[in-house]
């Protein structure tokens, strides 16, 4: 069989050919050729025709006979192959009645069940014939929009998806009703829309904004239900360019060597075409022509010998034209087009302006006055030489001029001049309204408006780094509609840089302004977080200074000399960043001067191996010491006292942290100013930043920071080896009785020279420790290592309580080929699954099943709701179960069993009374119906397993795969009790996830730990920032999906700067402007790579061992847990709590209040499915922090109007109004639904934070964490003290993190 696979792969290189087939819509048949001359497999031969852009992908499958089980429904009844295809090796496919949406790439492959190779790929293009097209639309480029019509004559009886597509694009989605931005082709992003009443009116017409030349093509309108895609109509759209709206303007000066007229073509050229460059107004109009080679027979003689195109133009699609020695007469409109056998397609119009370097009058003037005023004239005419003008200034200058002069004669009445930055934001204009100018430039711009000379230069006041970038000035002729030649100016604002070493006495941040000032000014220095570092107000004297800088700053306040430089004493790494000084009038707030200074404080680094006897953290300072009250204090990252010494009292051992007892030494006389610290037996967890402060009476005299990195010795072996050696030889001379103990990363005993009875059961009979006291060799041999043994092992040698030597060894046991991971999150309100089919080394993206499409939803989870028939046979789960049960009438529901939100009933199992067994068969009641815990959980797992395998079968990397191939991860809310674990394991076995002999492939993951592991990975999508709307959250932060924390101040990152705030000490550090900021002040920067895995990230992300408080904000319950990262990188839960929300209950009460109890009660009883949809809509909208609108079903409106006019229902209700068929709920009212819950969360958070020390991060995950109001509330309450993080898609964090823990089960330590 392996030989056959090799043979198949050998033939692959011979038979992988790309072919093309064209056919007109309406033809009877299209044949896709595929001929194979290799060896036909003897066992299980099959031929597969597929299209990778479809789901499912299978077009046709032939085994011994045709197999249509997995065929995509759009091809049902329309495909066939020769009856003797496998015998004749003719695998050609016949496709009957080809349609426009059949266009695409079809792949023909052969398989023996193990290997699959591609024989050929056929590109089928179904062209529309004039007779078959529903309609042809023509529009000029530059129009505001165009409407593509599509009407559906029948009444829709069920929820469908409306789809607009173009078969020549990939992806081919133009628009989907229901908002599917991830599937839409980016060419149409933000440019398409449909009527909000499309589904009710059956008018599916598409509005396309700002049509471009590339939008020309055939658009297909179709609807999709659960079974098939129904074609409705097709529209041929022609977008033509007009001379009034030119695509590109190119300017060049006469005498230049050449000029390039750009023209790109993005589609694949399959037929023989001709590329033509023409110029309007000439006869003949041909400038250049290329078919297989240049064809210049019809070329206008003006261009003879002066034009050329790239040799690979037809292959690369780059049709740009090079025009040599441009002349004034070459100015004009150039047209780039392609010609096939049927028509000429216009691609691009270019306006070429060839200008003289100087106007004629300027040349004469220069000849006359060259000796006297040449310098001034050259300055005046410099704009004629430069196409992209560059301006560079220092931060702190009063203003900067962005020059722009045009030679075109203009009039004030018909001219609009607009300056914009590189983000398209309006900087200034001669005709803008106040609300059009971006707030960044308010009161900071002045534009010249000299229409006679064409001078529209822009003055930008008080430029900062944030203002750096490209600025464009556009002149628009209102009368003719023409855009005049525009100009770009590149502005670079440089920041003054100051770099010092940690330990210096002080650093000066300089600022002298050239601006004349009065004494009535306010001077403020702020850091990059917007915090006040120092300040002065003529009236109020000193401003409110942030506590971080109290007693550490001195600012020059000299209005006459205009010197406001700042001295910062004892700078530390935490002080690194950009500092901004602003001088403004106190009364008006007008900014008079501004400057930025970038400070970088470097930390001295010390690196040693684990196992050395000691390490020295050096610090020498020239400080005049007092005999009585000088104190020297060394602290670690969290602020724990490493050693404290007072000149009079000596060593203060009572304040020393337990971790450092008997492990530190300092010179007691501190002469000459030597405050160095010796740390004995350094281990990995000692890595981090250490701070030494020399003080007298509370005043800091000197300060220094040292970064210590303790490297761990690494051992790596394959699973299955007989044994592995963990080496440890100590140079310490050992005499007398000593204890030698090896422990794992959880602190549990692996081996010891004494106390063998304490050895962990996992290591019984598997360890041998050398006991050579003379040579100091205490290496450990571990027999039959498995993946489970991976982690950090620590050997400690001690005499009584004194540690003599210590070393750590990191063991990695590589397992067999990783199995794919399937994670199931069984939630209180919602459940779902995620999977990763790639081996750990390959990474691969974790996939989630999307739910609720039948209701127009797109959710990563489905309600934890299960429906059985009267015989307790499973029927439906999730949205389908809720919908089916809600649609039942009267007593019909009595014949069914429904269970909803039953997670706690299953998992909360308590120890049985003496003499009683495990209560797996204890019943759970719901609506007077009961089933056992085991039955319920088994059926939930069985459904999710079957659905997952069905999903994976159609996945590109899936195919034939069974449950036994997976490692299954089940999430649990807290510590796992033995009884709960037994129940879940038994249910998993009965549901077919694992077998009795493969229970080791069932992994349990703490929900909070899973979410935290995903957040620390970090997520590819980054983190939600406080300033982002939900729209911008779905756009990966540029340029590469970096993330920030929720409580980043608005003054943090500059535009174009990527920030990854993986803060190690709650320090605000800033990289240089424009460069990527990765704040990893850790001991393992060289190992922070994806391939190192989550474990390394957990160890390196947070070297000071700050704990993480995870708030899992589910849609019904929120859970609070505290985790710390153990030495080996494992996560350990320290505390937990949970509470329920009231939001969904309150919206129902609110609707009952609006429509009166009787109307709403009747509506709930008669239309439960519509009530369900209203609740789903509310759950989606509750994430917003703004006014929201909920659709009001016609049945509710009609029932209400039988009582009275519907608007009168809202007259007496505060926070709600009726607007065109929707219920509008105000932002304040929406917030009121969650006030109680938010207050309760705050109270519980404070309780947990007060009980647990050393917490540095609050991590928000779960469905409700998408709520802007929740994130903002938590940030406002706790953001000043803790770092608040929230992943971009918080509802997916637990599932994706569970997959990660399935790959690294050693990362979670269960109690």
Does residue 320 have a pLDDT over 80?
A: yes
1144 falls in which pLDDT band (50, 70, 90)?
A: low
DSSP 800: T
Residue 1048's pLDDT is: 34
Q: What is the pLDDT of residues 1051-1093, one digit of tens each?
A: 333 322 222 222 222 333 333 332 222 222 222 322 222 223 3
Residue 671's pLDDT is: 61
Peptide linkage before 681 cis (omega within 30 of 0)? no
Residue 1086's pLDDT is: 28
Question: Please, are residues 233 and 148 in contact by the beta-carbon 8 Å criterion?
Answer: no
Tokens of 1154: 């609006």
Please tell me the distance from the alpha carbon of residue 557 to that of residue 814, in angstroms, as a whole number: 65
Question: Please, are residues 1306 and 790 in contact by the beta-carbon 8 Å criterion?
Answer: yes
Does residue 750 have a pLDDT over 60?
A: yes
1250 falls in which pLDDT band (50, 70, 90)?
A: confident
569 falls in which pLDDT band (50, 70, 90)?
A: confident
Does residue 505 have a pLDDT over 50?
A: yes
Lowest mean pLDDT among 149-153, 376-380, 535-539, 548-552: 376-380
776: left (phi over 0), alpha (psi -120 to 50) or beta: left
Question: Please, are residues 975 and 943 in contact by the beta-carbon 8 Å criterion?
Answer: no
The phi and psi torsions of 1276 (rounded to 5 degrees) equal: -65, -40
Please tell me the distance from the alpha carbon of residue 798 to that of residue 812, in angstroms, as a whole number: 27
**Range list of H helices, 330-476:** 360-380
1173: left (phi over 0), alpha (psi -120 to 50) or beta: alpha
Residue 611's pLDDT is: 78
Please tell me the distance from the alpha carbon of residue 41 to that of residue 87, in angstroms, as a whole number: 11
371: left (phi over 0), alpha (psi -120 to 50) or beta: alpha
Please tell me the distance from the alpha carbon of residue 1198 to that of residue 1167, in angstroms, as a whole number: 13
Residue 1200's pLDDT is: 83
Higher pLDDT, 271 or 728: 728
277 falls in which pLDDT band (50, 70, 90)?
A: very high
Residue 1305's pLDDT is: 65
Residue 130's pLDDT is: 52
Higher pLDDT, 378 or 1130: 1130
Does residue 972 have a pLDDT over 90?
A: no
287 falls in which pLDDT band (50, 70, 90)?
A: very high
Residue 1051's pLDDT is: 31
Identify which of 64, 54, 72, 284 has the alpha carbon closest to the alpha carbon of residue 171.
54
Lowest mean pLDDT among 971-980, 1050-1059, 1134-1143: 1050-1059
Please tell me the distance from the alpha carbon of residue 338 to that of residue 314, in angstroms, as a whole number: 10
Q: What is the mean pLDDT of the chain?
A: 76
Tokens of 39: 């060896």
Mean pLDDT value across residues 289-294: 86
Please tell me the distance from the alpha carbon of residue 507 to that of residue 1072, in angstroms, as a whole number: 18
Q: What is the pLDDT of residues 807-866, one digit of tens each?
A: 888 888 876 556 788 999 988 778 999 998 876 666 677 888 888 877 767 788 888 888
1241 falls in which pLDDT band (50, 70, 90)?
A: confident
Mean pLDDT value across residues 1264-1279: 81
1127 falls in which pLDDT band (50, 70, 90)?
A: low
How do 229-240 and 135-140 pair as beta strands? parallel
- Sign of torsion, CA 101 102 108 111? positive
Residue 433's pLDDT is: 61
Mean pLDDT value across residues 270-274: 79
Higher pLDDT, 540 or 313: 313
Residue 943's pLDDT is: 93
169: Cβ–Cβ under 8 A, 6 or more apart, which residues? 185, 187, 217
Residue 307's pLDDT is: 93
How do 344-355 and 248-253 pair as beta strands? parallel
Q: DSSP labels for 726-792? A: E--B--S---S--EEEEE-TTS-EEEESS-GGGS-GGGTTSEEE--BTTTTB--EEEES--GGG-EE
Question: Please, are residues 298 and 286 in contact by the beta-carbon 8 Å criterion?
Answer: yes
Higher pLDDT, 562 or 1257: 1257
Residue 833's pLDDT is: 94
Three-state SS string across 456-512, please? CCEEEECCCHHHCEEEEEEEEECCCCCECCCEEEEEEEECEEEEEECCCCEEEECCE
Residue 941's pLDDT is: 92
The phi and psi torsions of 695 (rounded to 5 degrees) equal: -140, 160
Higher pLDDT, 744 or 17: 744
Residue 381's pLDDT is: 42
Contacts 24+ apart (CB under 8 A), 1308-1311: 1308/1005, 1308/1006, 1308/1009, 1308/1013, 1308/1130, 1308/1131, 1309/745, 1309/746, 1309/1126, 1309/1130, 1309/1131, 1309/1132, 1310/975, 1310/976, 1310/1004, 1310/1006, 1311/975, 1311/1132, 1311/1133
Tokens of 632: 């020297």
Tokens of 1183: 């994430």
Residue 824's pLDDT is: 93
Q: DSSP labels for 1205-1271? A: -HHHHTTT-TTEEEETTEEEE-HHHHHHTTHHHHHHHHHHHHHHHHHS-SEEEEEEESGGGG-HHHH
DSSP 3-state of 352: strand
Mean pLDDT value across residues 409-421: 81
Residue 32's pLDDT is: 92
Angle at 459 between CA 457 and CA 463, to 5 degrees: 140
1156: left (phi over 0), alpha (psi -120 to 50) or beta: left
Please report, for residues 195, 857, 1305, the alpha-carbon distance to residue 201 in angstroms, rounded to integers and kept in the order given: 9, 20, 53
Residue 726's pLDDT is: 92
DSSP H or E segment with residue 314 = helix 313-316
Question: Please, are residues 95 and 104 in contact by the beta-carbon 8 Å criterion?
Answer: no
Q: Where are the beta strands (DSSP E) in 1086-1238?
A: 1107-1113, 1117-1125, 1131-1140, 1188-1191, 1216-1219, 1222-1225
Please tell me the distance from the alpha carbon of residue 465 to that of residue 1073, in angstroms, as a whole number: 7
Q: How many residues are there in the chain?
A: 1311
Q: What is the pLDDT of residues 345-381, one digit of tens each?
A: 777 778 888 887 655 444 444 444 444 444 444 344 4
Residue 357's pLDDT is: 61
Identify which of 822, 820, 771 has the alpha carbon closest to the alpha carbon of residue 797.
771
- Give the rounded percent of residues in the chain with a pLDDT score beyond 70: 76
Calculated CA dihedral for residues 15, 16, 20, 26, nearest 10 degrees: 80
Identify which of 467, 1255, 1296 has the alpha carbon closest to the alpha carbon of residue 823.
1296
Please tell me the distance from the alpha carbon of residue 1236 to that of residue 542, in angstroms, as a whole number: 40
Mean pLDDT value across residues 202-210: 86
Tokens of 350: 């270019």
Please tell me the distance from the alpha carbon of residue 159 to that of residue 223, in angstroms, as a whole number: 10
Residue whose tokens read 């990188």: 1129
Question: Please, are residues 229 and 246 in contact by the beta-carbon 8 Å criterion?
Answer: no
**How buried is 191 (Cβ within 10 angstroms: 0-12 exposed, 13-18 middle, 19+ buried)?**
middle
Residue 420's pLDDT is: 85
Q: How far, rounded to the nearest angstrom, does the alpha carbon of residue 544 sit from its chain's CA centroid? A: 37
Query: In sequence order, what are the beta bridge partners of 614?
Result: 680
Please tell me the distance from the alpha carbon of residue 908 to that of residue 900, in angstroms, as a whole number: 16
Tokens of 831: 């459940």
For the chain, counts of helices (H) and of strands (E): 20, 79
- Across 364-373, 421-430, 719-728, which has the greatest mean pLDDT? 719-728
Residue 61's pLDDT is: 93
DSSP 202: T
- Across 83-92, 232-241, 894-903, which has the greatest mean pLDDT? 83-92
Please tell me the distance from the alpha carbon of residue 149 to that of residue 203, in angstroms, as a whole number: 8
DSSP 911: P
**How buried is 1275 (Cβ within 10 angstroms: 0-12 exposed, 13-18 middle, 19+ buried)?**
buried
Q: What is the largest CA-CA distance in the chain?
A: 117
440: Cβ–Cβ under 8 A, 6 or more apart, which residues? 425, 466, 467
Residue whose tokens read 């050395």: 612
Identify which of 958, 689, 694 has the alpha carbon closest to the alpha carbon of residue 822.
958
């Amino acid at each position: 069989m392996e030989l056959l696979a090799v043979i198949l792969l050998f033939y692959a290189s011979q038979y992988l050919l790309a072919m093309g087939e064209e056919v007109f819509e309406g033809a009877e048949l299209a044949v896709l050729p595929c001929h194979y001359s290799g060896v036909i497999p003897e066992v299980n031969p099959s031929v597969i025709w597929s299209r990778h852009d479809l789901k499912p992908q299978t077009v046709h499958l032939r085994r011994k006979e045709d197999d249509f089980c997995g065929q995509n429904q759009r091809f049902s009844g329309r495909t066939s192959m020769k009856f003797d295809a496998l015998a004749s090796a003719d695998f050609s496919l016949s496709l009957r009645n080809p349609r426009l949406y059949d266009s695409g790439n079809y792949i023909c492959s052969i398989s023996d069940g193990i290997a699959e190779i591609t024989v050929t790929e056929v590109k089928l293009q179904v062209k529309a014939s004039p007779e078959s097209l529903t309609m042809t639309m023509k529009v000029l480029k530059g129009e505001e929009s165009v409407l593509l019509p599509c009407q559906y004559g029948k009444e829709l009886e069920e929820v469908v998806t409306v789809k607009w597509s173009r078969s020549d694009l990939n992806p081919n989605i133009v628009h989907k009703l229901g908002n599917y931005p991830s599937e839409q082709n980016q060419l149409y992003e933000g440019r398409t829309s449909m009527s909000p009443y499309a589904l009710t009116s059956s008018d599916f017409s598409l509005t396309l904004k700002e049509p471009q030349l590339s939008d020309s093509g055939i658009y297909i309108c179709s609807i999709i239900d659960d079974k098939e895609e129904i074609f409705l109509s097709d529209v041929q759209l022609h977008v033509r360019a007009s001379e009034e709206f030119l695509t590109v303007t190119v300017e060049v000066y006469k005498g230049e060597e050449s000029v390039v007229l750009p023209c790109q073509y993005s589609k694949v050229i399959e037929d023989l075409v001709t590329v033509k460059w023409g110029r309007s107004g000439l006869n003949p109009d041909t400038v250049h022509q290329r078919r297989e080679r240049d064809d210049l027979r019809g070329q206008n003689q003006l261009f003879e010998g002066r034009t050329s195109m790239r040799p690979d133009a037809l292959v690369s699609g780059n049709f740009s034209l090079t025009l040599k020695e441009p002349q004034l007469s070459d100015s004009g409109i150039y047209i780039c087009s392609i010609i096939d056998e049927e028509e000429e397609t216009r691609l691009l119009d270019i306006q070429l302006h060839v200008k003289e370097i100087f106007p004629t009058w300027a040349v004469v003037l220069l000849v006359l006055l060259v000796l006297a005023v040449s310098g001034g004239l050259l300055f005046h005419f410099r704009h004629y030489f430069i196409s992209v003008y560059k301006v560079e200034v220092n931060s702190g200058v009063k203003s900067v001029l962005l020059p722009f002069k045009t030679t075109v004669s203009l009039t004030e009445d018909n001219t609009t001049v607009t300056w914009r930055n590189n983000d398209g934001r309006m900087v200034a204009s001669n005709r803008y309204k106040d609300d059009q100018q971006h707030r960044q430039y308010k009161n900071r711009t002045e534009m010249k408006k000299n229409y006679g000379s064409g001078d529209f230069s822009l003055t930008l006041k008080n430029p900062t780094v944030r203002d750096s970038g490209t600025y464009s000035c556009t002149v628009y002729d209102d009368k003719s509609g023409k855009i005049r030649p525009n100009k770009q100016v590149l502005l670079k604002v440089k920041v003054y840089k100051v770099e010092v070493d940690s330990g210096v006495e002080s650093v000066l941040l300089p600022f002298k302004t050239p601006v004349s000032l009065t004494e009535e000014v306010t001077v403020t220095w702020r850091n990059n977080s917007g915090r006040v570092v120092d300040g002065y107000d003529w009236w109020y004297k000193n401003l409110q200074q942030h506590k971080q800088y109290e007693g550490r700053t001195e600012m020059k306040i000299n209005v006459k000399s205009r010197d406001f430089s700042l001295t910062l004493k004892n700078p530390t790494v935490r002080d690194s960043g950009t500092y901004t000084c602003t001088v403004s009038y106190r009364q008006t707030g007008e900014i008079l001067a501004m400057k930025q200074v970038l400070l970088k404080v470097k930390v001295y680094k010390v690196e040693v191996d684990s196992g050395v006897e000691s390490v020295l953290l050096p610090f020498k300072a020239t400080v005049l010491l007092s005999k009585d009250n000088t104190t020297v204090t060394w602290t670690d990252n969290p602020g724990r006292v490493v050693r404290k010494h007072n000149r009079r009292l000596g060593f203060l051992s009572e304040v020393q942290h337990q971790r450092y007892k008997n492990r530190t030494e300092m010179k007691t006389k501190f002469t000459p100013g030597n405050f160095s610290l010796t740390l004995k037996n350094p281990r990995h967890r000692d890595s981090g930043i250490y701070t030494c402060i020399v003080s007298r009476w509370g005043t800091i005299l000197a300060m220094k920071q040292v970064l210590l990195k303790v490297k761990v010795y690494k051992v790596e072996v394959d699973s299955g080896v007989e044994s592995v050696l963990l080496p440890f030889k100590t140079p310490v001379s050992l005499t007398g009785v000593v204890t030698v103990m090896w422990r794992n990363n959880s602190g549990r005993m692996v081996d010891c020279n004494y106390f063998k009875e304490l050895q962990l059961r996992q290591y019984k009979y598997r360890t041998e420790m050398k006991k050579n006291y003379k040579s100091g060799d205490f290496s450990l041999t571990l027999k039959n290592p498995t993946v489970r043994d991976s982690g950090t092992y620590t050997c400690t040698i001690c005499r009584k309580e004194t540690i003599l030597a210590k070393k750590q060894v990191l063991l990695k046991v590589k397992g067999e080929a990783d199995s794919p991971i399937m994670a199931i999150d069984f939630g209180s309100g919602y459940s779902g699954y995620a999977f990763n089919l790639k081996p750990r080394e390959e990474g691969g993206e974790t996939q989630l099943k999307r739910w609720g499409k039948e209701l127009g939803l797109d959710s990563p989870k489905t309600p934890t709701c299960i429906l059985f028939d009267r015989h307790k046979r499973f029927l439906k789960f999730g949205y389908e179960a809720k919908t089916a049960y809600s649609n039942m009438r009267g007593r019909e529901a009595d014949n069914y069993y429904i269970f909803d939100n039953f997670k706690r009933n299953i998992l909360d199992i308590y120890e049985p009374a003496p003499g009683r067994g495990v209560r797996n068969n204890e019943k759970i009641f719901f609506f007077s119906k009961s089933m056992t815990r085991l039955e319920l959980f088994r059926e939930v797992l069985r459904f999710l397993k079957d659905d997952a395998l069905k999903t994976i079968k159609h996945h590109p990397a899936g195919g034939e795969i069974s449950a036994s191939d997976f490692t299954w991860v089940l999430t649990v809310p807290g510590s796992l009790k033995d009884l709960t674990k037994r129940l879940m394991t038994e249910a998993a076995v009965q549901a077919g996830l694992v077998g009795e002999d493969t229970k080791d492939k069932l992994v349990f993951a703490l929900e909070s730990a899973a979410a935290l592991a995903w957040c620390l990975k970090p997520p590819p999508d980054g983190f939600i920032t406080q300033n982002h709307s939900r729209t911008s959250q779905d756009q990966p932060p540029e340029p590469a999906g970096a993330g920030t924390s929720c409580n980043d101040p608005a003054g943090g990152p500059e535009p174009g700067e990527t920030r990854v705030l993986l803060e190690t000490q709650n320090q605000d550090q800033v990289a240089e402007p424009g460069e990527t900021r990765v704040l990893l002040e850790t001991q393992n920067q060289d190992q922070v790579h994806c391939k190192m895995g989550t474990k390394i990230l957990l160890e390196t992300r947070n070297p000071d061992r700050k704990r993480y408080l995870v708030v899992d904000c589910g849609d019904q319950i929120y859970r609070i847990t505290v985790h710390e990262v153990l030495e080996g990188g494992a996560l350990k839960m320290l505390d937990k709590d949970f509470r329920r929300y009231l939001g969904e209950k309150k919206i129902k009460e609110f609707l009952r209040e609006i429509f009166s109890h009787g109307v709403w009660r009747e509506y709930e009883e008669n239309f439960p499915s519509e009530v369900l949809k209203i609740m789903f809509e509310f759950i989606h909208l509750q994430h917003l922090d703004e006014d929201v609108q909920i659709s009001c079903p016609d049945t509710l409106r009609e029932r209400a109007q039988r009582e009275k006019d519907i608007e009168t229902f809202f007259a007496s209700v505060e926070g709600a109004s009726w607007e065109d068929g929707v219920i509008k709920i105000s932002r304040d009212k929406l917030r009121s639904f969650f006030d109680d819950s938010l207050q309760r969360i705050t109270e519980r958070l404070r309780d947990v934070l007060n009980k647990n020390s050393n917490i540095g991060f609050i991590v928000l995950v779960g469905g409700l964490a998408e709520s802007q109001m929740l994130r903002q509330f938590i940030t406002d309450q706790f953001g000043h003290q803790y770092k608040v993080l929230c992943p971009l898609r918080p509802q997916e964090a637990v599932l994706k993190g569970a997959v990660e823990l399935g790959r690294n089960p050693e990362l979670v330590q269960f109690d």
